[in-house]
Chain A
């Protein structure tokens, strides 16, 4: 009998075949996060992003409109441009120097006459993809005729918090990316597991009232909000680490997980993204970036000093005491909730292949985990 992890077979978390199906049917057919809007903000600037099976680049024209194209030369398929950079008016394939303009039109073929006689350039333009900006983030869709980004994310807007990320500025120190040795669904399930918050993070996220959390789904997108605990909410201006970015009557942690693998984490003093990218059946990359209030350095210093007294006494701590540490870098004594989550994900993944692995019941606070598995099955066409 197939060993199940709730609704999905364990193979869904370990096998290349499942990974390939998800790449094809989920990550190639949805809007893919590509960065922050300031990443491509000058004419000629470009970036590339992998959207499932598609490598797509975004470039800004002199009209400051973004264009997105599949990063494939129409001649023999070579990737046209690499990673990030700046161009002038044209994109040239390194293989045979076929050159395209910023509308994707093929404008020049070297030695056209000798080599080809005549090339009908009008049929050999780059294949367009769709690009748009939502909540200050760049998104691409491999299908140029995909419904608009506001059709896709519109239903969540009322539930993800009052933050206006366009008015906030990036806080560079929050920019990091790391690999987790676990399937991407393990990482998502950890993110949306409400039950674990009071346990794995008993010493790191106790400023929010997990028992009062409210969560629901908007289509394939998971919505989550929880209020601050009383001791953190009272006189909160003295406790926020950075200047406040939302009105007080909207306090709390807003932590949705948009489909697929697009996590947001926003609170009273900041707005962050948590992008989950599958690299292999058992390897996932997480990329974090964040924004804070556009205030002066002095405002930040004041807020940080003012809040330090509270945080010293509030007592953030590791899950395990120092004397239980396995080594100097033990995530379970780190007092860092991200390290705790990575630890839990990797430990769970490591157990999946054990012949003795068996799943216990899912608690109420784990219902999002089961619901996310349903969404995966729907997108893979497995729901009757």
Chain B
């Protein structure tokens, strides 16, 4: 069941980009996920339980196995503990992978996938790209990948290997913000993945399969900029899929919350929960003694997703949801403030 944590043994770890990141591979042969999803994990650090969600950096359609790739965040608690201490044989508690920023490959599907990523945003995109190469034989893929320079390219060897194995179906375009002066590393463009870069990528690699899809995963500001650039090129919004990585998601704090009563269904049980002014739905549900699924508590991972049946809520952030999910009533309970005095929702 979603939200339940299970101990997983670490099979192997690998240092990436000179110790600035670490790949952690789990022994989890029976676990299933969709490319692009996260793995919620729970650690106890200095006696405190902390939860995080990391994108799974592998396709379920390859032999890479269930794994995450964690980049050190400056002054970050969990990322540095993982990089400094986690080793093969350790046990980490993890919950079922989740998230709606996904690419499910289809054997008969014929699409052109464009990936725009920067920094550690490559991890879900790598899972998607390798899924397309492994399980969507009639489709094509093009990746624009932004980094400081050649020293910060996560999964570089693996990216090169997948490209070499599929030269007719994919391409990779490195964009460096700070290319080294004396470096001989080859890259495609200098600067950011901005509108001119996106236009050039598409002009140099026009879609061959006409069902084109666009996936964006980068730090805060990049996503909005890429989306705006794509839309200015006539890309319909329902073909753009995105997720924010690192940086700070912009919070919409414009709405004051109100006290309300929520009728909550969780694990088949329904009960009324009081929400006080200023409390999020998730906080209220937890305060009532229930054990709802949750992880990042910042609107990124989607673990705490619920469906709103009655009433209205205001979401301060909803990075983990796509427009169509919201149309279907999906809410992130960790970001939802009651906007009517009676609401009804279900986690099931």
Contact = CB atoms under 8 A, between A and B. Distances in A.
B236 interface: yes
Interface in A114-146: 131-133
Interface residues of A, number: 19
Interface string A81-112: 00000000100000000000011000000000
Nearest to A101: B234
B109 A148 contact: yes
Given A65-B207, A132-B210, A133-B208, A148 B230 contact: no
B203 interface: yes
Contacts of A65: 206-207, 210, 212, 234-235
Interface string A58-76: 0001111110000000000
Contacts of A131: 210
Interface in B184-225: 202-203, 206-212
Interface stretch (A12-20, A149-157, A296-304): A149-157
A147 interface: yes
B233 A132 contact: no
Contact of A150 (B138, B206, B232): B138
A63 B210 contact: no
Q: In terms of DSSP, what is the predominant structure of the interface of chain A?
A: loop
Interface string B94-126: 000000000000001110000000000000000
Interface in A38-75: 41, 61-66
Nearest to B235: A63
Given A132-B210, A148-B138, A154-B138, A63 B233 contact: yes
A61 B207 CA distance: 11
A2 B112 CA distance: 52
A66 B208 CA distance: 9
Nearest to B202: A64
Nearest to A136: B208
Contacts of A103: 234, 236
A133 B234 contact: no
B113 to A, nearest CB: 12
Nearest to A58: B210
A149 B210 CA distance: 10
Contacts of A147: 108
A63 B230 contact: yes
Given A65-B206, A65-B207, A151-B110, 16 more contacts: A61-B233, A61-B234, A62-B232, A62-B233, A63-B212, A63-B230, A64-B202, A64-B207, A65-B212, A65-B235, A132-B110, A133-B209, A133-B210, A147-B108, A149-B110, A150-B138
Interface of B: 108-110, 138, 202-203, 206-212, 230, 232-236
28 contacts: A61-B233, A61-B234, A61-B235, A62-B232, A63-B207, A63-B212, A63-B233, A63-B234, A64-B203, A65-B206, A65-B210, A65-B212, A65-B235, A89-B234, A102-B234, A103-B234, A103-B236, A131-B210, A132-B110, A132-B209, A132-B210, A132-B211, A133-B208, A148-B108, A148-B109, A148-B138, A150-B138, A154-B138
